[in-house]
Copies of this chain bind each other. A is one copy, B any other.
Amino acid sequence: MTGILLRNIRPLGGPPVDLAIRDGRIGAMGEGLSADGLTVEEGDGAICVPGLVEAHTHLDKTVMGMGWYANAVGTDLRAMIDNERAERRRLGLDVSRQAMRHALALVGNGTTHVRTHVDVDTENGLDGLRDVLSLRDALRGVLDIQVVAFPQSGLMIRPGTAELLDQAMAMGADLVGGLDPCAVDRDPKGHLDTVFALADRHGAGVDIHLHEPGEMGAFSLELICERTRALGMAGKVTVSHGFCLGMPDARRTGALIDGLAELAIAVMTTGAPSREVPSVPRLRARGIRMGAGCDGVLDTWNPWNRPDMLDRARIVAQKNNMRSDADLAAVLDLCSSGGALAIGVGGHGLALGAPADLALLPGETLAAAVARGGPVLMTLKRGAVTARHGKALMEAP
């Protein structure tokens, strides 16, 4: 058996066709295709979209399956960071097991690509990163995982962290992470010089958490643009969250957005309901590559997030007041092909010859799929079925 015939699926919610997959790629699409040695899977008129892309999460943090985590820490960022570091030990959080649970839940919900930030700090060292790199290998053919070495506890305020990040990159992490150069690290120049120097040395991209609001965040963003330009790193830099881009002054944010566009800096959003957030329609209209993510899921940070990009699409749509069917289709694109471009994966789509990384969704239209949510009917990775009815075929630990 060399492939699969998906019978009666609707690409992007359009008219029903059959889709033939050979050697892991989309080989043909049309009415009444011959099965001809292919395994037939009945689509029953399901919507077919490029596999969902989780562009911002933390696979090393979830307590999924470990019983309910009672959160009493409040909402201060530094307190949440310190709480997590302490709780990792107290709970005996096994990153290998937990990351696998999280990753397979994502697969069950239609995901084919993930970018995950993984904590690197002087207390937990590189253990979690090593575990997630192993997971990346173990899930090859099921889920593509990009790993960001992430100084969650700060970089300049915790000497030794830069060296750990350097080792993390040598071990095979894909990108160098960063975090609130002013608000957390208290040394924007030091922080960003270090992050960009590491990226430059390893020929890697960067993805920086920027929660800083208003003018503080705008300042950090300017420093990020300056370094991106100086190092010739256009197209290799990502800003996650970017709450400052949602501040009310549209002229000010317009200048910032122009800077991002010029340097092809990507922006990841979670559509955080309680914060000002970058406007999805505005940034995309300006040509900014954007992705969306569920962020950490069932962890010591917050109880609401789910490992589910359809759920996230609804949250992003609500936050951006995107109501029309066209709007919701755009949000779904943000969570699949658009997100793939944002994390630097080209060719993720329904073109002939593209890798058969697909999700079959319930619903009459793309908008209905976002509004009503899962369970996702089927996930395929490189032409192999990886999940059915919301559940990954690979058993979670």
A interface with B by C-beta (< 8 Å): 67-68, 70-75, 271, 273-274, 298, 301-304, 314-315, 317-321, 323-326, 328, 363-365, 367-368, 370-371
Chain B residue numbers with a CB within 8 Å of A274 are: 318-321
Q: How far is the CA of A74 from the CA of B321 in the complex (A)?
A: 9
Supply 7 further A-B pairs (C-beta < 8 A) apart from A74-B324, A298-B371, A303-B367.
A68-B368, A71-B324, A72-B324, A274-B321, A304-B314, A304-B317, A304-B323
Question: Is the Cβ of B318 less than 8 Å from the Cβ of A273?
Answer: yes
Task: Please give me the residue from chain B that is nearest to A316 by CB atom.
Answer: B273
Q: How far is the CA of A301 from the CA of B321 in the complex (A)?
A: 11
Task: Please give me the residue from chain B that is nearest to A319 by CB atom.
Answer: B273
Chain B residue numbers with a CB within 8 Å of A314 are: 304
Q: How far is the CA of A344 from the CA of B50 in the complex (A)?
A: 50
Chain B residue numbers with a CB within 8 Å of A72 are: 324-326
Chain B residue numbers with a CB within 8 Å of A317 are: 304
Q: How far is the CA of A370 from the CA of B314 in the complex (A)?
A: 17
Question: Is the Cβ of A365 less than 8 Å from the Cβ of B70?
Answer: yes
Question: Is the Cβ of A315 less than 8 Å from the Cβ of B273?
Answer: yes
Question: Is the Cβ of A323 less than 8 Å from the Cβ of B67?
Answer: no
Q: How far is the CA of A301 from the CA of B318 in the complex (A)?
A: 12
In the assembled complex, the CB of A362 is this many whole angstroms from the nearest CB of chain B, namely: 12
Which of A68, A73, A319, A367 has the largest count of B CB atoms less than 10 A from its CB? A68
Choice from B273, B301, B303, B363 contacting A328 with Cβ under 8 Å: B303
In the assembled complex, the CB of A319 is this many whole angstroms from the nearest CB of chain B, namely: 4
A-B contact pairs, 12 of them (CB 8 A): A70-B325, A71-B324, A72-B325, A72-B326, A74-B324, A75-B321, A271-B273, A273-B318, A273-B319, A274-B321, A303-B323, A315-B318
In the assembled complex, the CB of A194 is this many whole angstroms from the nearest CB of chain B, namely: 30
